[in-house]
Amino acid sequence: MSSDVEGRTATLSDVARRAGVSIATASKALNGREDVAAATRRRVEAAATELAFVPNPMARGLLAGRTGTVGLLTSDLEGRFMLPILMGAEDAFGAGQVNVFLCDARGDAIREQHHLKALLSRRVDGIIVVGRQTDPRPSLGQELPVPVVYAYAPSDDPRDLSLTPDNEAGGRMAIEHLLACGRTRIAHISGDPAYAAAQDRLAGAQAALADAGLELVGDPMFSEWSEHWGRDAAALLLDRHPEIDGIFCGSDQLARGVLDTARDLGRRVPDDLAVVGYDNWEVLSTGSRPELTSVDANLQQLGRLAAQRVFDAIDGVDTGSGVSHVPVRLVIRGSTIARR
């Protein structure tokens, strides 16, 4: 910032004047076009460096139509799922000289439209739409002038490209791990049954049990995604089905509640009762006693992938469409396998 011309930040014409050439030549030289003499190019480049010249992206964008920016349109920044996705996306874009506009719709469709307009008017090159649940959300439509990728919450229109965690695989994985730990009398506690996430995880769990010739003990316990419900549901379940030796929970909060109740009832975890959570929300999963085995949705990876897809689409690569399920992984801790 030190070598500005008269306090302004340097412009291309400043560079041209200093190098003793025309604006057009300076432009060509700096943009690496061929039809410019090597010596001239060096002079221009030197001048640009001395003036700390940085092309004005607005002037450039006005012509080119490409801005090197993308929009991140989140439905609601609150909630723990946004952040890792945001990080992944920002990371992937940042590495590619692209800057990210962050827009938070606060769960409001009107505001979302407003932000969408703002992003388009700024001529972003692409948009990632991040939802806070894995339930399908309304598509932004097919008429947009830039590629759009939906992350976490898939679009309800199959012509769109969506990336969402593979909750069914997560459910399978949790059960298969419990089975591998020798548990056969397994129950399931989850949150709001209206969530696709709750249903998908349950479906995966039931499929895995069926493969082993087993069934859930008791009915799946649905209510809300809270620690309180985890405590209450566990008390009810263990009272009615004392034989239970494993519980798969639809979230880490629920699992924390289950651990609490298990302790109250004198059930040792993992010896008497193995517990698996979901989300791998570290503050919960590593703060508990014992620490919590949990399914991790690889959200940061999901964010990076979404960014990659947007990149590809911008470059004209066909990225396909439909809902793509991103693999999840199981993080094993003391609530299923005792530490020595």
Residue closer to a second copy, measured from CB, 86 or 238: 86
Residue closer to DNA, measured from CB, 22 or 113: 22
Binding segment (CB under 8 A) for a second copy, from list 116-124, 200-208, 313-321, 323-331 = 116-124
Residue closer to a second copy, measured from CB, 54 or 212: 54
* In the complex, least distance from residue 23 CB atom to DNA, rounded to whole angstroms: 5
* In the complex, least distance from residue 144 CB atom to DNA, rounded to whole angstroms: 17
Binding segment (CB under 7 A) for DNA, from list 48-56, 272-280, 300-308, 309-317 = 48-56
* In the complex, least distance from residue 106 CB atom to a second copy, rounded to whole angstroms: 8
Establish if 52 lies at the interface with DNA (CB under 7 A).
no
Residue closer to DNA, measured from CB, 12 or 103: 12
Q: How far apart are CA 41 and CA 228, in angstroms?
A: 69
Binding segment (CB under 7 A) for DNA, from list 4-12, 134-142, 228-236, 311-319 = 4-12
Establish if 227 lies at the interface with a second copy (CB under 8 A).
yes
| Residues binding a second copy (CB under 8 A) | 1-2, 9, 54-59, 61-62, 67, 69, 72, 77-78, 80, 82-83, 86-87, 90-91, 94, 97, 99-104, 106, 111, 115, 117-123, 141, 143-145, 226-228, 231, 253, 256-257, 260, 281, 283-284, 287-289
